[in-house]
Chain A
Amino acid sequence: MNEPPKDRIKYVQTDLHLPYHYYAGDYKALYLNALKDKKILGSKCSKTGKVFVPPVMSSPDAHAPCTEIVELPDKGIVTTFCVVNVPVFGRDLELPYVVASVALDGADISIYGLVQECKAPEVEMGMRVQAVWKPDGERLGEHTDIKYFKPTGETKAPLESFIHRL
């Protein structure tokens, strides 16, 4: 045989593994540990008073230290969101589901979260939501300790109230 086989190999599985050892740092460690107690912490800019969540050590816009840690409520507003219709490797949620940016009351930026307990088309910008936590004993100090956000049924927030907090 002076040629390779005509019946070729059509595919190869070439999984790429990227092992990380992630160090949270002081503020993220505080934030993650507080999630175990169903508390959401942010940090306040010493210059502008803006509140960042998760907490950062210096504010990205004023470049000033954020020396004060503040506790935020677990309620807020859906600022912007995405309806996911395509299954993603490693996440077996029923399709379609909603991933949203949630601006917690008193925070100047949004955190990421799922929106559940309503149909995807019912989610809208300005919708009031509340965190649903994992039960006691199951919270490990991870962002997923907040299982998802659910609608509160309160009046939707006007765009001006959150347009700068996307």
Chain B
Amino acid sequence: MKAPTSVEPMSQRMTVTFPYKHSTGEVTGRFLAGLKEQKKIWGRRIAGQGVVVPPNAYSEIDAKTGGEWVEVADQGTVTAVGVVAQPVKDLHPSTEPFAYVLVKLDGADTALAHLVLDRIDDIRVGSRVKAVWAPDEERKGTIRDIACFQLVG
């Protein structure tokens, strides 16, 4: 038969899920334990890089191991912003508009990737933000033990 010229559109929504269980390793594992158990953010002083947050097991400069643990503040300065105006359900961490930010915490020399959920129109590079901690019973040892960051002032 001849192919019809007009066919009713057909579509389907589906979500492909990759269930990853990610092994943290020695250094990231202790960083996460610090969030969960101590409500503290830890970095490591690594030669040539300063205080790295979140910490690495190896120097990115010369691949040397080691480094002293340094606690940094849970406040810092935004170094980059990416506003997600139209979040995609399941793909993004929030169903409301939010911003991805890089935050250079006070005492750190590198920036940590995280979220800002409120007042996203006011976020700029250079904005001061502070961590909003998840309640004790909800901290599970993930980066979302810091629920989000929020603007200071």
Contact = CB atoms under 8 A, between A and B. Distances in A.
A5 B91 contact: no
Contact of A12 (B13, B18, B142): B142
A6 B30 contact: yes
A23 to B, nearest CB: 5
Chain B residues touching A, range:
35 or more
B85 interface: no
Interface in B71-125: 71, 88-91
Interface of A: 1-24, 26-30, 32-33, 43, 55, 66-70, 89-90, 141
A26 B7 contact: yes
B69 A2 contact: yes
B40 A16 contact: no
Interface in B17-48: 17-24, 26, 29-34, 36-38, 40, 42
A91 B11 CA distance: 23
A5 B13 contact: no
Given A9-B29, A17-B16, A4 B40 contact: yes
**Of A9, A27, A28, most B-chain CB atoms within 10 Å:** A9
B4 A30 contact: yes
Contacts of B152: none
B9 A13 contact: no
A95 B99 CA distance: 45
A5 B34 CA distance: 6
B7 A5 contact: no
A114 B107 CA distance: 58
Nearest to A5: B33
B42 A4 contact: yes
13 contacts: A4-B69, A7-B33, A11-B21, A11-B23, A14-B22, A16-B17, A18-B17, A19-B89, A22-B14, A26-B7, A29-B9, A30-B7, A69-B3
B133 to A, nearest CB: 15
Contact of A29 (B10, B18, B33, B90): B10
Nearest to A1: B38
A141 B24 contact: no
A16 B91 CA distance: 7
Contact of A19 (B10, B11, B15, B69): B15
